[in-house]
Chains A and B, each alone.
Chain A
Amino acid sequence: MIEIRNLTKIYGTQTVLNIPELKIGKGESFGLVGNNGAGKTTMFRCVLDLIRPNTGTVLSMNNNVANTETWKHYTGSYLDDGFLIDFLTPEEYFRFVADVYQLSAGDLEIFYHDFEDFFNNEVLGKRKLIRNLSSGNRQKIGIAAALMPKPEILVLDEPFNSLDPTTQIRLKTILKSWQKEKEITMLISSHDLNHIKEVCNRIVILHEGIMVQDLVTNPDTLRVLEEYFAVKG
């Protein structure tokens, strides 16, 4: 699904990302962990064509993301607040996203129904602008909007941040079931090793822009991760 070749990003004299090769297959749930400044967000931004890498390419279904736009049809993403239009109400924002992906009013109804539990009565029908909602609720909106078009590829940057425990569990359930039933390819980063171990079947540790470990999740993974970061700390 996604193939990264010889990707580097340099700011000034500092190389913040350097990935010679990385292939993420269809249906794979790819987890990215690493301390602050490891290059996680930079990598996701390259995948989403939001920054121009110094060298290399990102291919999505064999198309270079920088030269084509077809990948936007089947890719849902939420990196940060910069994806939300904060002067809209959640409903207006969802309607805008639905219009962009040419979803019908019926599709939108189904979407609201599917995410009713996830929103937990805190998002819809509040007559509030997104900018006046708490950061947890904004995060919910962003993630839900990314999932709305039923993407084949999903990119989420630290999705569990500022979510309450209930919502964290619900999000994990959603991600796992979507992966099983719809075979979507997921790229998820997180600081929470427990979450990432639960959701992802492949975990990559990034350190100073370089992939230092590439693990297939097994019962032993959490220990390996904890050991790695304990030494780093």
Chain B
Amino acid sequence: MFFKFLSLQIKTATRSPMWQKNLALNLVIGFFLLLFALYLLMLGLFIHKIMNEMLPHQDHLRVFNGILLYYFLGDLLIRFLMQSLPVLTIESFLHLPVRKGTIIRYMIGRTFFDVLNFLPLFILIPVTFTIVIPHEGGMRASLWISTLIILVLSNNLLVIYLKRLLGVKPAVVGVLGLLFISLIVLDRTNLISLSGISSKGFDYIMHHPVLALLPVCWLIFTYRLQYQFLSKHLYPDEMQKKKAEEIHDRAESRFLKSMGLTGSIISLEFKLYLRNKRTKTILYMAPVFLLYGLIFYPQPIYHKQDGFLLFVGVFMTGGMMLNYANYAFGYESGYFDGLLTKNIDFNRYIHVKYYISVLICTVFYILTIPYLFYGYKILLINTAMYLYNIGVLSFVLLYFATFNKKRIDLSRGGAFNYQGIGAMNWLALLPAFILPLLIYLPFRMSGHPYMGIAFTGFLGILGLFFAKFFIRLITKSFYQRKYIMAGSFREK
């Protein structure tokens, strides 16, 4: 039965239109995953040499054991954010004569096949050979590695249990989250030492094999926990944590109302972003765009690399707009037919989309002004990049958006979600990051870097004067491509 389920699952994945259309993208992701695994392997193979260099007089195994607890805690967090709940469409099996236990065992069993369970092995297995065996010999090393693998698997089960619990008892998960945070705080304030506990704990286990039963018990416990939860909640409507969203019908703002159709399009776009999972993830990520500067500005070396600062500037003032404009029509794929059949003046519609792009850039530009703290040059560059974003990049991206050709499923989260992203979307990113540099470089080489920055900004201002013309071009392309867009958006 297990293998029958597995083959069904593989078929669901490979026969979904997404898979076939995104084969190239899947290959790219697969390649990067392989690359990442390779990096981990290298790290695992050479970590003892690195430790020799950096910490020559310390016991490497103890140092490594000291990190492990942090690793497992971090692993919990990353998994909680990234690992997706495996969805087996149980509806199609519940009415068949299949034992519930079989379904549950399968649902739990297949979570072990997550990439996140395999990646740590790339580092742990080499370390077993390079550090643990030379220190402690084969017997204890095998005890060590099996303990770790068991803990990785327990983490896997625990996180999935917690994620399921989140739908039913969010408070419990919240309390555990607080415990987690207080543990970190206690450690940071040196009240307890997680690294001490960690290195002693793993050391103990190696020297007292009986203690190895502890992680085994933990694994069984997490397994039972999940098994019991699933057997209690094996009803489709309880599996999905679908809370009926209650929407309070607030009166639209009077300001938007006074703008007529323009206002209702703007309010539609706001609701699109606020009420869909995919767009919401992007909103959560928005502060990250702004913090980008904090990573680079405090380090003086970057201040001499103007090209880099240009890039940071474009990204901070335009990152959010980039997402908005790049999928200006793709995000509407769910109701595109409805829009086309209503008497909407699409030239005006695209105008509104442009205004929203400008608005987003402006908000982000204002928020980056405090970076003035790191020198007026930063402000100068960000201002120029802001002008470039609203006067050049927005138009380019909206133009490319008329080449949107994939239905975007707004109900799935946006982090690491490449569904509905086509080659054109990637291509549209080129002008974002390369064009400002190309404009700037000739000036820089002729010894007038500031002229180059000013000229980029000037191009932006120039673009603003031709706004009507550009939008007419975009509208024209929209009308030419609307059948292709509508047709491909209909394909689920």
**What is the interface of chain A, defined by CB distance below 8 A to chain B?**
48-52, 69, 72-73, 75, 77, 79-80, 82-89, 91-92, 95-97, 99-102, 127-129, 132
Tell me the dominant secondary structure on chain A's binding face: loop
Tell me whether B341 is interfacial, beta carbon within 8 Å. yes
Q: How far is the CA of A206 from the CA of B127 in the complex (A)?
A: 71
Evaluate whether A50 and B486 lie within 8 angstroms (CB atoms) in the complex, with A77-B341, A99-B264, A101-B343 already known. Answer: yes
Residues of the B chain whose Cβ atoms lie less than 8 Å from the Cβ of A77 = 341
Residues of the B chain whose Cβ atoms lie less than 8 Å from the Cβ of A92 = 249, 271
Tell me whether B97 is interfacial, beta carbon within 8 Å. no
1/0 per residue, CB under 8 A from A, across B324-349: the answer is 00000000001111101111100000
1/0 per residue, CB under 8 A from A, across B263-279: the answer is 11000100110011000
Tell me whether B246 is interfacial, beta carbon within 8 Å. yes
CB distance from A102 to the nearest CB of B (A): 8
Tell me whether B247 is interfacial, beta carbon within 8 Å. yes
Q: State whether A75 touches B341 (Cβ < 8 A).
A: yes
Q: State whether B264 touches A96 (Cβ < 8 A).
A: yes
Tell me whether B293 is interfacial, beta carbon within 8 Å. no
- Known A69-B343, A89-B247, A100-B264; further 5 A-B contacts with Cβ < 8 A: A48-B341, A72-B341, A84-B338, A100-B343, A127-B248
Tell me whether B260 is interfacial, beta carbon within 8 Å. yes
Within 8 A of A (CB), among B121-149: none
| B: contact size bracket | 20 to 34
Q: State whether B249 touches A89 (Cβ < 8 A).
A: yes
Q: State whether B344 touches A100 (Cβ < 8 A).
A: yes
CB distance from A177 to the nearest CB of B (A): 24
Q: State whether B247 touches A129 (Cβ < 8 A).
A: yes
1/0 per residue, CB under 8 A from A, across B225-246: the answer is 0000000000000000000111
Residues of the B chain whose Cβ atoms lie less than 8 Å from the Cβ of A100 = 261, 264, 342-344
Q: State whether B264 touches A95 (Cβ < 8 A).
A: yes
Q: State whether A129 touches B245 (Cβ < 8 A).
A: yes
Residues of the B chain whose Cβ atoms lie less than 8 Å from the Cβ of A96 = 264, 268
Q: How far is the CA of A216 from the CA of B421 in the complex (A)?
A: 50
Q: How far is the CA of A114 from the CA of B335 in the complex (A)?
A: 26
Q: Give B345's nearest chain A residue, CB to CB.
A: A69
Q: How far is the CA of A73 from the CA of B343 in the complex (A)?
A: 6
1/0 per residue, CB under 8 A from A, across B372-412: the answer is 00000000000000000000000000000000000000100
Q: How far is the CA of A128 from the CA of B242 in the complex (A)?
A: 13
CB distance from A159 to the nearest CB of B (A): 15
Q: State whether A87 touches B276 (Cβ < 8 A).
A: yes
Tell me whether B483 is interfacial, beta carbon within 8 Å. yes
Residues of the A chain whose Cβ atoms lie less than 8 Å from the Cβ of B272 = 87
Q: How far is the CA of A32 from the CA of B212 in the complex (A)?
A: 73
Q: Can you name 19 A-B residue pairings with CB atoms under 8 Å?
A: A48-B341, A49-B341, A51-B486, A73-B343, A75-B341, A77-B341, A84-B335, A85-B334, A85-B335, A86-B334, A86-B335, A91-B249, A92-B249, A96-B268, A99-B261, A100-B342, A101-B342, A127-B246, A128-B246
Q: How far is the CA of A231 from the CA of B8 in the complex (A)?
A: 38
Residues of the B chain whose Cβ atoms lie less than 8 Å from the Cβ of A52 = 483
Smallest CB-CB A-B distances: 8 pairs: A72-B343, A83-B338, A99-B264, A87-B275, A82-B337, A52-B483, A85-B335, A100-B342
Tell me whether B422 is interfacial, beta carbon within 8 Å. no
Q: How far is the CA of A127 from the CA of B261 in the complex (A)?
A: 23
CB distance from B359 to the nearest CB of A (A): 20
Residues of the B chain whose Cβ atoms lie less than 8 Å from the Cβ of A127 = 246-249
